[in-house]
Amino acid sequence: MHLPLSFGDIFNRSSSPKPMKKSAFDLHTIKELFTLHRREGEDRIFKLALAGEALLNNPRWNKGMGFTRKEREEFDLVGRLPSGVNSLDEQCERAYNQAEAISNYSQLFRKSEGLFLSYPFRERMEKDFLHYIKGKSVDLIVVSDSEAILGIGDQGVGGIGISTAKAVVYTLVGGIDPSRTLPIVLDVGTDNRGLLDDKLYVGWSHKRVRGTEYDEFIETFVQLVRKHLPHCLIHFEDFGVDNARRILEKYRSQHAIFNDDIQGTGAVTLSALMSAVGVTKSKLSDQRIVVYGAGSAGLGIIWQLRDAMVRIDGISREEASQRFYMIDKDGLITKSFGSKIRHGQEDFVRPDEEWDDNDRHDGKIGLLQVVKKAHPTVLIGTSTHAGGFTEEIIKEMATLAASKHTDRPIIFPLSNPTRLVEVDPSKANEWTEGKALLATGGLSVSTVDPIHRLKRDMLLTGSPFPPAKMPNGKDYIIAECNNALIYPGIGFGAVLAESKTISDSMIIAGAQALASLSPALKDPDAALLPDFGDAPHVNFEVAVAVAEHAVAEGLAGVKWQKEDVRDRVKERIWHPVYGTYHYDASGEK
């Protein structure tokens, strides 16, 4: 099935790139809409039947230091709070300033948040789940088993902090009401010896459950969500590579689920590549793509790009698969790898007949040889091999591109943290004489503290790298392939539409919406993706596109017309504003 919005609607191949025709909205218009909506929220009046400690202990209604003096008197809060009054923005600043301290007292008891579903208590999982959600409306579940947390690996039950932080990002840049989100950790044990030996560890002190027992635990969890929250999105976060893929493949046709590590990374990279091929006035299926790093991120990107080639350009799946060259630590993956070929890589394995003995060094076909022989137009790095894109490799790619295909090679060194990036983008810019179209991965910092993870996802600098200098002296802004530019909007759109599943077409529609807002569509030498400071407004357009496509594809549970979707999304955006409270014994609790 092809998308209602064609690739040609986004990019005019016969002239300079231009914004897509579908929407009359641009980022300036969207920002004005958000400002108006926020002001409307500030004018709202709520009648509450809570007061004193009951109000301060209610996460939905507690304003913290934001209660006005009048409200403090009316709700018996004088003396329960310090005398000062802080705005919501001031309280956010205080929370960020406290983030450094949080990582220093991880051994100390803290009030629990979210839902802990533990393997030893699997027989009562449904009872515990129902007790927790009683009286709540839940649109979004963010769940982790904490096996593969970025930067720190297996953290056992501590992954609840990641689920919480990710849910907050959905709220801050996606517009989902925080009272309708549910962070969950699946405590299936840990293989982290430090945690197992720690007498203060609060999770199940046991080696990780695997195999059939693990699968049955996941099955119980997914099915109880399907039974009791049929329209709730399940976002899977930081699962181990093999489990992540298996879970996604098994359940994506049964329920609306999303794996950010696989689908989010693929979607934002697709958007950046759409923008790049718009600049070069080519098609996705015209590209020959080398992916350096064949783990979950690299595979997720390849799967997403291939699906887009099939759905947008109309080529076969087999033909699209031949556009890719996949390289891991043992070199180019060819059929002779045999049992070392992992699940999910099979479609992209290159025939050994394409290569001769002269292409191999120490038994491997390396990146340089692949570039020389395959003549790629796109080079993507997900290897965490610092400096893997050498000057010789970049110059070889640029020379081949200029002589045979395009003078704008597309280079995405996406590994993070930044110290592990394949090439500093300023060097790639220099070695290609300012011709490379560049994007990097999002800034990654230690995630010992979930607030650090949140701050990374909410980074407002646009890129972890400074602008590169073009030969004419102009600054070239390095685009940041930050997943938070797209996954909150995909999730929000699916939630609003009450979509039965999240289809590949819905994700591609979201990626097209993000690509349509690329600054490079107006200036070919501008960034390939919008600045992350515009993430809330960008995700609004993503949500509209995803919900519209769910309606058009017949996956939506709501009875909307496609032309009604934009107004519906506007109505449902949650903004972090404080309304005015008045006490009413018959009011909300």
Q: What share of the chain in percent tops pLDDT 90?
A: 55
Asked if 3 contacts 548 with a C-beta cutoff of 8 angstroms, the reply is no
Q: Give per-residue pLDDT as tens, 340-380.
A: 898 889 999 999 999 988 889 888 999 999 999 999 999 99
Cβ neighbours of 253 (radius 10 Å): 10
Bridge-based pairing state of the strands 257-259 and 324-328 = unpaired
Q: What is the distance between the alpha carbons of residues 239 and 296, in angstroms, rounded to a whole number?
A: 10
Q: DSSP letter for 443, please.
A: P
Written as one letter, the residue type at 410 is I
For residue 452, what pLDDT band results from cuts at 50, 70 and 90?
very low
- pLDDT exceeds 70 at position 20: no
Q: Give per-residue pLDDT as tens, 119-139.
A: 999 999 999 999 989 888 999
Q: What is the distance between the alpha carbons of residues 284 and 314, in angstroms, rounded to a whole number?
A: 11
Residue 389 is predicted with a pLDDT of 96
For residue 403, what pLDDT band results from cuts at 50, 70 and 90?
low
Measured CA to CA in angstroms, residue 303 lies from 1, 239, 307, 510 at distances of 17, 18, 6, 16
For residue 206, what pLDDT band results from cuts at 50, 70 and 90?
very high
For residue 72, what pLDDT band results from cuts at 50, 70 and 90?
confident
Residue 102 is predicted with a pLDDT of 25
Residue 140 is predicted with a pLDDT of 97
Beta bridge partners of 143: 184, 236
Q: Which residues contact 219 (CB under 8 A, 6 or more apart)?
A: none
In this structure, what are the phi and psi dihedrals at residue 567, rounded to the nearest 5 degrees?
Answer: -65, -35
Asked if 517 contacts 565 with a C-beta cutoff of 8 angstroms, the reply is no
Q: What is the distance between the alpha carbons of residues 260 and 94, in angstroms, rounded to a whole number?
A: 29
Dihedral (C-alpha) 545, 311, 478, 367: value to the nearest 10 degrees? Answer: 160
Residue 95 is predicted with a pLDDT of 61
* Global model pTM greater than 0.95: no
Q: Give per-residue pLDDT as tens, 139-179.
A: 999 999 999 877 678 888 888 888 988 999 999 899 999 99
Token pair 């991880």 in the structure block, residue: 106
Cβ neighbours of 564 (radius 10 Å): 14
Which range (78-92, 195-209, 573-587) has the least confidence?
A: 78-92
For residue 81, what pLDDT band results from cuts at 50, 70 and 90?
confident
Asked if 63 contacts 87 with a C-beta cutoff of 8 angstroms, the reply is no
Tell me the pLDDT of the chain averaged across its residues.
Answer: 84
Residue 462 is predicted with a pLDDT of 36
Look at 420 and 39; give whichever has higher pLDDT: 420
Q: What share of the chain in percent tops pLDDT 70?
A: 85
Q: Give per-residue pLDDT as tens, 220-261.
A: 999 999 999 999 999 999 998 889 989 999 999 999 999 998
Q: What is the mean pLDDT of residues 382-394?
A: 94
Q: Give per-residue pLDDT as tens, 290-303.
A: 999 988 889 889 99
Q: What is the mean pLDDT of residues 541-569?
A: 94
- pLDDT exceeds 70 at position 521: yes
- pLDDT exceeds 80 at position 326: yes
Q: What is the distance between the alpha carbons of residues 225 and 126, in angstroms, rounded to a whole number?
A: 9
Residue 10 is predicted with a pLDDT of 36
- pLDDT exceeds 80 at position 92: no
Q: What is the distance between the alpha carbons of residues 46 and 403, in angstroms, rounded to a whole number?
A: 67
Q: What is the distance between the alpha carbons of residues 535 and 517, in angstroms, rounded to a whole number?
A: 11
* Closest listed residue to residue 583, CA positions, set 55, 83, 65: 55
Q: Which residues contact 175 (CB under 8 A, 6 or more apart)?
A: 488, 492, 536, 539, 540, 543, 569, 572, 573, 574, 575
Which range (32-41, 299-308, 482-491) has the least confidence?
A: 32-41
Residue 370 is predicted with a pLDDT of 95
